[in-house]
Structure 1
């Protein structure tokens, strides 16, 4: 299956947060580029709704955030990183999008928030 990929500037975000491309609900990947052309964000959509993996990078290429969304709802593990590569945050969601656990770390690796939502 060939996936359509368009730039962030080629889509429109509707009031209901659906994404369209050329007036049609978009299915595929939307990418955002840094001024040097490097990809800094990639988000997957199905029928205009965020659906699938997403990832963000700092302009210098280091990972910034990643996770999975199922038709507009966060599911599974979503992580974010400090610029130096250390883990900054980790949220765990169930299949219905309920937050199960939230963890946050300071840049030095110290746990600054640990909430079990179960």
Structure 2
């Protein structure tokens, strides 16, 4: 699988007129990440320049910040975000067309908001 790191290859990465991710002028298929040292900041998978698969983001010091699933550019299933302290911050469910079905939110202590 191809892998590009925005931290290393930023000048070779662009978005074309159709908003597809390109690498060296071609629609990208594979894993795109951004890192600081050994720490992942985000990870997104692409097929022909379109996000498809897991989508994850981390806080700069390591904890998971968000995760969800994308089906050819459309958010599907359950997406979650976390407060920096690791407490679940939100949970949003999307249908197969990317429309939100339910949303729940919590404060940093875990209380519903």
| RMSD value, Cα | 1.1
1:54-106, Cα deviation, whole Å (9 max, x unpaired): 11111111000000001110000100001111000111011111111011111
TM-score by length of 2: 0.90
1:1-118 to 2 correspondences below 5 Å: 3-8=1-6, 9=10, 10-34=12-36, 36-112=37-113
SS state at 1:111 partner: coil
Structure 1 unaligned runs (5+)? 113-118
Cα distance in 2 between the residues matched to 1:58 and 1:93: 24
1:14-43, Cα deviation, whole Å (9 max, x unpaired): 343210001000000100012x34111000
Aligned length: 109
Structure 2 unaligned runs (5+)? none
Cα distance in 2 between the residues matched to 1:89 and 1:13: 29
Cα distance in 1 between the residues matched to 2:54 and 2:28: 15
